Amino acid sequence: MNADLRRERAAATFQPELLTHILDGGADRTRRRKELEALVVNDPDFQHEDLNFLSRSQRYEQAIRKSSLMVMKLREYGIADPEEIYWFKSFVHRGRPDPLDLHLGMFLPTLLTQATPEQQDRFFMPAWNLEIIGTYAQTEMGHGTHLRGLETTATYDPATQEFILNSPTVTSIKWWPGGLGKTSNHAIVLAQLYTQGQCKGLHAFIVPIRQLGTHEPLPGITVGDIGPKFGYDEMDNGYLKMDNFRIPRENMLMKYAQVEPDGTYVKPLSDKLTYGTMVFIRSLIVGDSARSLSRACTIAIRYSAVRHQSELKPGEPEPQILDYQTQQYKLFPLLATAYAFHFVGAYIKDTYHRISGDISEGDLSELPELHALTAGLKAFTSWTANAGIEECRMACGGHGYSRCSGIPDIYVTFTPSCTYEGENTVMMLQTARFLVKSYTQVSSGQRVTGMVSYLNDLCRQRIQPQHVAARTVTVRLNDPVSLVEAYKARAAWFVEAAAKNLEAELNHRRSKEDAWNKTSVDLVQASEAHCHYVIVKLFTAKLAEVSNAAVRAVLTELCLLYALYGISKNTGDFLQVGILTDAQITQVKQRVKELLAVIRPNAVALVDSFDFHDSHLGSVLGRYDGNVYENMFEWAKKSPLNKTEVHESFYKHLKLMQAKL
Amino acid sequence: VNPDLASERQTPSFSVEKLTALLDGGEENTWVRRAVVEAIESDPVFSRENQYFQSQNEKYEAAVRKAVHLQKKMHEMGWTENGPEFKYIYRALSGEVAFLLHTIFMRSISVLGSDKQIAKWIPLAMQYQLIGSYAQTELGHGTYLQGLETTAVFDITTQEFILNTPQMSAMKWWPGDMGRSATHTVVFAQLYVQGKCYGVHPFIVQIRSLWDHSLCPGITAGDIGPKMSFEHIDNGYLMLQNVRVSRENMLSKFCEVQPDGTYVRRGSQQINYFTMTAVRVALISQEAVIPLMKACTIAIRYSVVRRQSKLKPGEEEAKILDFQTQQEKLLPHLAAAYAFHFINNYLQELFDRGYEEIQRENFNMLPELHAFSSGFKAMVTQYCASAVEVCLRACGGHGYSLLSGLPSLCTRILASCIYEGENTILFLQTARFLIKCFMAASAGHPVPPSVTYLAAVKPGKCPAKNKFDFLSPDIYTQAYQHAAVRLISSTAAKLQELIQSGVKKHDAWNECTVQLVQAVKAHCHYITVKNFAETVERLETKGGIQKIMKHLCDLFALHGIFSNAGVFLHNGYISGAQMDMVTASYLDLLAVIRKDAVPLVDAFDFTDKTLNSALGSYDGQVYQRLYEWAQKSPTNTQTNPAYERYLKPLLHKKLSKL
């Protein structure tokens, strides 16, 4: 092992394994995760050439190969718990997308939740056995987040008892669904349902798209790959165009809404249930933000401990770049953020599971808040992680730009989560809608519960004239609990300000929608402040659960850094409302720098605790053993440009030119 | 043309053609530029049609092919390196061309070589009898040059230098054109004569045979593998084992090893800094501002074609640019593109003046020039890199498709934050200059003109009374100046305090670096705002140019205050109530500029081929183009290899055969 890294690990003040247990949710969970990881890592079937050297088509092929094997082995090993499947899959695909993602993650679950028993008999087992491979075709070229705008039509023909599917315009072509381009032979298509001359809104239909046996597109179906993207090379995101394509009436998913043989439409009972799936997927993105940022931090921090550059003191050897304050300032707040997001992700998942229990008993009262909260947190964490991964890459200097660092790959794989499953700005505005609604409730004398309960206090204090936040808090900068109060005051102020601006716009006799649009920048700020508060609060709450004193100490430092750094980056908010004074802001900045030095000795141990296997990390710079330079050279030698010593373009172009000039 | 885009162009508040001429620095330049772009884009050899579907090998080959063809083209068209057309060629090619390092190779010989060396090597390079590269960075060392580990030992008996790569970390790594193309390179190595080390010096080393391109004895070289972008460039590695070059191969304008081993130094080496400065200034426009302009063009045009959700019930879906949040993402960056264009002009003028002085052997302007080019290179590339990314994300899912053109702009511009000096280090170099000037100014000594404001510290409060006051350039420029002075002076004070309390100088410096970086950013931001405001004042009022530029200047300035509120609130220079006025004025401006957004990007005058974007073309036929282009993807034109091999057995339940 590299001597620098060995020294770093020896100097840590806590045992990384204990922290790993906390992240996994218990020592037994860590053990199980590592068992599953070993099953994949030690399996020669899952080995392959470095993906960086493969073309898109080759990467797709590898992914399909591994997916097929994975499905078989999951059954062979009897792995059925959803979380264990998720782990196994992420080890097999090393955190990268997989063409069967939509089949396993959307097609099968949608059949389970929205198909009638008769439909399940017909489709579920063949799909489970992969005779049917499906995808979920919702997004169109012209419409994404705004679902009601989708244009694909499904018109019921009672004469033949069929639905006629059409893509009436260029913009209505289904565009982006994963696995649609080349892999799937079926798709669940979302289309506007027309029956008896009336539009009944969006409904889901099971549509066969390719011939079983030959895999050729069926007549009336145009399907293909949408071409290269920023990342997601192994995924065949596809397009789908349908021309008078007929499917039997029984192919509409009819557990809730129904079309009877004569064309009579029967309405569904409740639409709240669809919230559930969205909450679930967005909670996965929060967890993914944490994991992706953790991977980038692991790489950047280990490399910063191995890399020596320049001089801090004349005459002394070159220091580790991690000893520079500017480098610590780039990386440690991100490390703290990664931990914060881990705990937020775990919280949403737990809350979701708890509420899902309630849902089956019919209690949906907590769902709107959770839905609103996850929308905002999805946006907040993915934006932050996205910028953070990029920061980690730049902190690795030039070598970070090489694909051998692994960070470019993490970045391009992660960044679409800012736009998919709900574009982030739209998500923030959904949270804002809930915040404003809660504020209005409080103003009219009702009490609100949950994460927004701070709005209750706001009203009690309104008897006094000035801004609420201005007088309530005395902030103790070394106490996370006190910092939570400061963030709470900021959130309260922003929600109130946005709500009042909205009111003012309405008083200018603007339409509701115009007023909302004119206030939307404020509203996004309010949501951000609310999410920031929730994160600081959850991180702080986590500290009390940690029993080991050494681990609690280091987590407390990270929590303080997270909270204080957040203040130092948003000083305007805290100053403008008078939550903090100029002098306190100066102290906050000073304290942030002190914390950098405090965390420095534990930095490597803190990323070791994330416990990423080298094969999963996929980085030469971030290797556990720190032997960076020799392995960079070995890696480069495998580059396709090095396959021959003299490149063919020498004969084609260079030699020709030299002869001519 | 898509009617949604056509309607945006009907009533611009200014003359688009006049604004284009202003950006080009006169309409004659516009004509020349258009002629060059037309000549290049009409030539099929330069086509970028397949760019998004090519492998690394194919991209490299295309770049070499274009570079070779360019020589022919220039000859045909009668373009020369000193002619007015030259600077537009790179723009017309969108930088997708090989042999850029060949130019650096020639420049380094011209600057660092003796007259004799220039006479020997430059004609060979001009004729492409050899292809050059520039090998400075090593695996283990980048920005910190003194740390380079490659050695060149003078052997007095044979009158040669012996070059070696003593360990893995000393391997040259990253130099462009070196992995596959170059026959020669300038190697930077620690010079040893008779056991004594004289520091880093440049040597011309042949690495490949001129006959069959095979590697020369003692040379190990190759491509460093795939990167985030720049796949068309063969960035390379180079290992030297007892490679001997003659004494005359050390570039010796400033330093020479004489036959008897005597080391002679002559002249000022300060001119070296000038080369670095030149490169940094040049890249601000080419690699940062122009890409941002392109990204804005794509994102803004797409935002008026894309309709999504309804603003009012019963109406048709709204253009996404009508959403305030979308305006807030894009319009400040549009303003920034203009701000940076003007600061680049300013730097260019300063640089030309400096060059004249240096010709007259006057090096006084060098420290200021060096500080300027470092700070602005760092600030502008950093800002533009994140702005391009915002544009990408503002296009929703489609931005993520390579066919939008945005991912390749994004990955390419990201590299500019690192090369030619890592940004943090550059900020700190400027910081050193600013602290020095601040100390000098406080002691009453003269300082360079751009920093005299440091001496005129006036405590006080912002005098604005209502939101309209914040549309006065004096008011916001003062606010920026105040913030810059406060950050510089407080950091200088802290530095002094630490040193006086007994902390060693370098430790004190490291403890202040986070604040120093912040101070430099504030300084650069101030200069940019000030320059923008002054530029606007000088503009002609005809054609509505001055008016729209004034709006953009206001937006740029207020966006900066809005998004760095803490910096301005600290000390109470701007009060909480005034900050609300800033916000109000800022949001008002978004709605004003919204009306001219499309004409403002049209004025950048990029052709569709230059943009190479399915989302951003002039006619706005976004969806048709996206669909057409996708069909050309090899994933659609070739058969699916995974089907026969894996999918078929999977679907047919023959998994056991896998």
pLDDT of A391-404, one tens digit each? 999 999 889 999 99
- State the nearest Cα–Cα gap between A386 and chain B, in angstroms: 10
When mean pLDDT is compared across A294-308, B284-298, B441-455, the lowest value belongs to: B441-455
Give domain status of residue B583, yes or no.
yes
Residues B247 and B155 in one domain: yes
**Res A463: pLDDT:** 42
Residues B281 and B261 in one domain: no
- Give the tens place of pLDDT for each residue, A441-474: 998 888 888 889 999 887 555 444 445 444 455 7
Residues B177 and B318 in one domain: no
Give chain B's domain count. Answer: 2
- The DSSP string of A173-195 is SEE--TTTTTT-SEEEEEEEEEE
Contact between B220 and B235 under an 8 Å Cβ cutoff? The reply is no
Q: Among A173, A153, A150, which Cα is nearest to A163's?
A: A153
Residues of A in contact with B389 (CB under 8 A): 390
- Kindly tell me if the per-residue pLDDT of A361 is higher than 80: no
In the DSSP assignment, the letter for residue A466 is S
Is the CB of A645 less than 8 angstroms away from the CB of B311? no
- Give the tens place of pLDDT for each residue, A481-495: 999 999 999 999 999
Query: Tokens standing for A628?
Result: 């960076």
Residues of B in contact with A412 (CB under 8 A): 407
Residues B575 and B536 in one domain: yes
CA distance A601 to A604: 8
Report, as an integer, the average pLDDT of A491-503: 94
- Give the tens place of pLDDT for each residue, B443-457: 989 999 889 999 876
**Res B653: pLDDT:** 66
Residues of A in contact with B144 (CB under 8 A): 309-311, 318
Residues B248 and B308 in one domain: no
Give domain status of residue B43, yes or no.
no
Query: Tokens standing for A100?
Result: 């069967």
Contact between A403 and B223 under an 8 Å Cβ cutoff? The reply is no
Give domain status of residue B60, yes or no.
no
Report, as an integer, the average pLDDT of B90-103: 90
Q: Among B331, B641, B19, which Cα is nearest to A63's?
A: B641
CATH number at residue B143: 2.40.110.10
Find the radius of gyration of the CA atoms of chain A. 27
Q: What is the mean pLDDT of chain A?
A: 90
Contact between B510 and B457 under an 8 Å Cβ cutoff? The reply is no
**Res A478: pLDDT:** 92
CA distance A613 to B258: 56
First to last CA, chain A: 53
Q: Which of residues 147-166 of B touch A (CB under 8 A)?
A: 147
- Kindly tell me if the per-residue pLDDT of A31 is higher than 90: yes
Is the CB of B643 less than 8 angstroms away from the CB of A215? yes
Residue range(s) defining the domain that contains residue B346 = 1-8+272-628
When mean pLDDT is compared across A541-545, B92-96, B381-385, the lowest value belongs to: B92-96
Question: CA dist A290 to A165, A186, A334, A415, Å?
Answer: 41, 33, 10, 13
Give domain status of residue B144, yes or no.
yes
Q: Among B598, B574, B476, which Cα is nearest to B533's?
A: B476
Give Cβ neighbours of residue B107 (< 8 Å, ≥ 6 apart): B275
A149 is in an annotated binding site: no
Q: Catalytic residue, from A421, A485, A496, A528: name it.
A: A421
Residues of B in contact with A228 (CB under 8 A): 52-53, 401-403, 633
Residues B229 and B357 in one domain: no
Q: Which of A215, A412, A419, A644 to mutate to test the interface with B (most CBs of B within 10 A)?
A: A419
Is the CB of A571 less than 8 angstroms away from the CB of B627? no
Residues B287 and B380 in one domain: yes
A227 is in an annotated binding site: no
Q: Catalytic residue, from B8, B138, B420, B537: name it.
A: B420
A-B CB pairs within 8 A amount to 365
Give domain status of residue B320, yes or no.
yes
**Res A644: pLDDT:** 82
Q: Which of A647, A651, A656, A660 to mutate to test the interface with B (most CBs of B within 10 A)?
A: A647
- ipTM of the modeled complex: 0.79
Higher pLDDT, residue A367 or A103: A103
- Give the tens place of pLDDT for each residue, B613-630: 999 999 999 999 999 999
CA distance A8 to A320: 11
- Kindly tell me if the per-residue pLDDT of B654 is higher than 60: no
Maximum mean pLDDT: which of A359-368, B102-111, B526-535: B526-535
**Res B157: pLDDT:** 96
**Res A250: pLDDT:** 95
Residues B176 and B295 in one domain: no
- Kindly tell me if the per-residue pLDDT of A649 is higher than 90: no
Q: Could you tell me the domains of chain A?
A: 103-268 (2.40.110.10)
| Main-chain phi, psi angles of A647, to 5 degrees | -75, 145
pLDDT band at A275 (very low <50, low <70, confident <90, very high): low
- Kindly tell me if the per-residue pLDDT of A294 is higher than 90: yes
- Residue ending a domain, among B249, B266, B283, is B266
Report, as an integer, the average pLDDT of A507-536: 93
CATH number at residue B552: 1.20.140.10
Q: Among residues of chain B, what percentage have pLDDT more than 70?
A: 98
Give domain status of residue B638, yes or no.
no
CA distance A472 to A469: 6
Report, as an integer, the average pLDDT of B587-604: 97
Residues B367 and B399 in one domain: yes
pLDDT band at A358 (very low <50, low <70, confident <90, very high): low
Position B531, amino acid: N
- Give the tens place of pLDDT for each residue, A87-103: 899 999 998 888 998 99
Residues B235 and B279 in one domain: no
Which chain A residue has its CA at the smallest distance from B583's CA? A522
* A259 beta partners: A265
**Res A468: pLDDT:** 45
* Token pair 């800022």 in the structure block, residue: B586
CA distance A40 to B238: 37
In the DSSP assignment, the letter for residue A646 is S
- Residue ending a domain, among B210, B244, B266, is B266
**Res B313: pLDDT:** 80
CA distance A305 to A319: 9
When mean pLDDT is compared across A70-84, A479-493, B32-46, the lowest value belongs to: A70-84
A366 as an active site residue: the answer is: no
- Give the tens place of pLDDT for each residue, A416-440: 888 888 889 999 999 999 999 999 9
Q: Is the dihedral of CA B509, B510, B512, B516 positive or negative?
A: positive
- Kindly tell me if the per-residue pLDDT of A508 is higher than 90: no
Q: For A467, how many CA atoms within 13 A lie in the half-sphere containing its CB? A: 21
**Res B573: pLDDT:** 94
Q: Which of residues 527-586 of B touch A (CB under 8 A)?
A: 564-572, 576, 579
Residues B247 and B335 in one domain: no
- Give the tens place of pLDDT for each residue, B116-140: 999 999 999 998 899 999 999 999 9
Higher pLDDT, residue B558 or B314: B558
Residues B377 and B287 in one domain: yes
Q: Among residues of chain A, what percentage have pLDDT more than 70?
A: 94
- The DSSP string of A525-568 is HHHHHHHHHHHHHHHHHHHTT---HHHHHHHHHHHHHHHHHHHH
Q: Among residues of chain B, what percentage have pLDDT more than 90?
A: 76
Contact between A631 and A614 under an 8 Å Cβ cutoff? The reply is no
Give domain status of residue B247, yes or no.
yes
Give domain status of residue B47, yes or no.
no
